[in-house]
Amino acid sequence: MKRRSLLIAMLAVAGSAVSTMSASAGDLLYTLERTTALPSTDTGFDYIKMQPGTSRLFMARLKDGLTVFDVESQAVVATVENSAGASGPLLLPEYNRGYVAMDDGSLLSLDLATLAPLQRMPLAKDGGLNSAIYDPYTRQIHAITGARPEQSTWFTLDAATGKRLKTTVFPSRKMDDPASDGKGRLFAPARKDGIVLVLDARTLKETARWAVGCAVSKVRYQASTHRVLGACATDTPTFFALDADTGRIVSRLPIGYGLDGFAIDEVRHRIVTSNYDGTLTVIDQDGADGFALRGTVSTRMGARMMAMDERDGRLLVVNAAFTNTAPNAKGETTKTYHPDSFVVLTYAPK
């Protein structure tokens, strides 16, 4: 991370936050309700996911494994066996299965009811998996590799059984989670190319590509408005909304620096991003094309991962203290996380 770019982005977000919040003084948007510390090693962390309709939060804590946390009791339920290296959980209650993308390139499957591991299947031989997503149209999951020098690989499996079906290679160095419209299309972000690929869900063949003008990292399909909602990371942190038929950009707004969490609150008509710079960016939605920056909520520096409890709209944000070394000759730094500093922050909507 370049310090100058981070500083500029943070100042820009701060400026926009001041001008927005002054229009509605006293509107807190979200307040910190609970802070719960968990035992941890010097590990980093990655994606977190709420199991729909339950109080269980699944947290990929890399070296510390897949931790299951009850958001009501604020206590750890279990750490899944054989889950060291957990990077991206996928929860499929309809099949009583969970799948976890692992940093050694394998895919872990587990029984959701008992949390017992079922299989750890080797997939990628050239590095870790970043995440896995489910497509309800084909009833398949796609496990996706992390950043690579030249191309991205998708491993397609049957969601009910975990049987491997096929492997597809894309000429993109970094692809993040695609979104399914549930009708036969996938919208796949190619981050380093600044485009969203529209794919046939059965064949994974490209049918269109839409330039968004920034490093697109998150996409979600919103059926009620027929819009693709997304956000970009790096030096141009941006929220955008696309027409799902044409790719036309209908809205674009600034967000905080270091995006990694993205939630849509359909009850409160909000989009929220969690950002490395220690902020939540809150955007109001009014119909298909009405989007407005509502404000910025402070969290903690580095708290980039977030999940929303759809039962009540609470946001769960995780973080750990860290130390960065001074930059070397190439401007690179090394991050070390502090043991026993991992926290779960619960933010209540207002």
pLDDT for 21-35, tens place per residue?
344 545 899 999 999
Instruction: Note the pLDDT of residue 125.
Output: 95
- pLDDT for 27 equals 86
Q: Determine contact, residues 112/97, Cβ cutoff 8 Å.
A: yes
pLDDT at 132: 96
Mean pLDDT over all residues of the chain?
93
Per-residue pLDDT at 1 exceeds 80: no
What pLDDT sits at residue 235? Answer: 78
Stretch 202-217: mean pLDDT? 97
Predicted confidence (pLDDT) at residue 112 exceeds the cutoff of 80: yes
pLDDT at 26: 54
- pLDDT, residue 108, reads 98
Q: 58 with 51: CB under 8 angstroms? A: yes
- Inter-residue contact 321 to 335 (CB < 8 Å): no
The pLDDT > 70 percentage for the chain reads 93
The tens digit of pLDDT for each residue in 232-277 reads 998 789 999 999 999 999 999 999 999 999 999 999 999 999 999 9
pLDDT at 9 over 90: no
Q: Give the pLDDT confidence of 36-68 residue by residue, as tens digits.
A: 999 999 999 999 999 999 999 999 999 999 999
- pLDDT of 10 over the 70 cut: no
Can you tell me the mean pLDDT for 8-30?
A: 51
pTM of the predicted model, to two decimals? 0.91
Q: Rounded to whole angstroms, how far apart are CA atoms 188 and 201? A: 11
User: Is 93's pLDDT higher than 70?
Assistant: yes
Q: Find the mean pLDDT for residues 91-116.
A: 98
Does residue 322 register a pLDDT over 90? Answer: yes
Give pLDDT, residue 335. Answer: 93
Using pLDDT thresholds of 50, 70 and 90, give the confidence band for residue 114.
very high
- pLDDT band for position 162 (cuts 50, 70, 90): very high
The answer to whether 82 and 103 are in contact (CB under 8 A) is no
Which of 23-37, 141-155, 157-171, 319-333 has the least mean pLDDT?
A: 23-37
Distances (CA, A) of 72 to 30, 34, 195: 18, 11, 39
Question: Which ranges of 213-327 would DSSP assign to H, the alpha helix?
Answer: none
DSSP strand pairing (335-337 vs 185-190): unpaired
Over its C-alpha atoms, the chain yields an Rg (Å, rounded) of 19
Q: How far is it, in rounded angstroms, from Cα 209 to Cα 189?
A: 10
pLDDT of res. 253: 98
pLDDT at 4 over 90: no
Q: How far apart are CA 131 and CA 128, in angstroms?
A: 9
